[in-house]
Structure 1
């Protein structure tokens, strides 16, 4: 991804700002580990609401996006988790673990760029005139349908924090 794309990607900037807010990162990681939700897709749904855009479920089934997520990002994350466990017994793995974290972040950034490109290049994210918090919930519910997920207290807490942050 070029620096121009990164600089123009308001989704990336939103993700960095939102994820760094107190309480957001641990909550997102719980959504990932306990409910199997993709944090980037959750953040994408929230960002779209700030743009006054909805989302169509078909966006999440984009072949390139699916391939990147399931064939690149998730295996890298699994490797990082494995090395994280091993390095507790062998500190020679510390540098490798740190490099894996950087590589995973680069993959996350690429996935956010793919989501951004999908949102700005087609009609899968229509403009809607709803209050931001209602639109955020509607977007999250569309995403949940694509993964057969259920609304939860964790998601409600995230939505509440999102509404409070005003990012």
Structure 2
């Protein structure tokens, strides 16, 4: 039985987009590696992609800052503690019985996902501009790469070859057919 119902959330194109993209096993793995290696907020990463993919283009400095500030606070105070508990419960939890730990882990996992959904909801509210729909896949991919290039230095000082490989994996899934060599983020490294 589920603890929470997603029916309490208003419809969100960002949530639908994030779920669809993240359901790709390679994308999810790349997102988790970036999260663990560089402290990237996966929801912010997906927000950067969605802004462009949805036809809203480049995030303004104010939109990016609002997303980073709200996301960082929510992640630090709610999501990361839940993630820590969930991961702890996956290991040996003696003296707790494994069955009980597994049940607690399921509840914590649902709580973590619910908290992630809340963050997506307030990120969705930051972007008030309507989609223009006036540019194609290539232009949207370039705008997304620019959004990522603006976001990443805000959360990490280092972006190495492995990070770029993970980002490219995600970006190519989000913008199939777009040429990464045309972007400032990937082009110099391909």
TM-score class, shorter-chain normalisation, is 0.7 to 0.9
**Is the aligned partner of 1:50 residue 2:62?**
no
Q: 1:161 to 1:70 in 2, by over 3 A?
A: same
1:147 aligns to what?
155
* Residues 1:75 and 1:24: Cα distance change in structure 2 (over 3 Å): same
Structure possessing the higher relative contact order (Cα contacts under 8 Å, 6 or more residues apart):
1
Whole-angstrom CA distance in 1 between matches of 2:45 and 2:23: 15
Partner of 1:25 in structure 2?
28
C-alpha distance after superposition, 1:12-42 (max 9, x if no partner):
0111111112421111111111222111111
TM-score by length of 2: 0.73
> Size of the alignment, in residue pairs?
161
The separation in 2 between residues aligned to 1:103 and 1:76, in whole angstroms, is 7
Q: Gaps (5+ residues) in structure 2?
A: 179-190
SS of the equivalent of 2:122 reads helix
Contact 2:21/2:173 (CA < 8 Å) preserved in 1?
no
Q: Secondary structure at the match of 2:175?
A: helix
TM-score (norm 1): 0.82
More helix by share: 1
Inter-partner Cα distance in structure 1 for 2:113 and 2:101? 18
Paired position in structure 1 for 2:44: 41
Report the secondary structure of 1:23's partner residue. Answer: helix
RMSD: 3.0
Larger Rg: 2
4+ runs of 1 displaced by more than 6 Å? none
Map 1:81-92 to 2 at 5 A: 81-87=87-93, 90-91=97-98, 92=100
8 Å contact from structure 1 (residues 6, 12) kept in 2: no
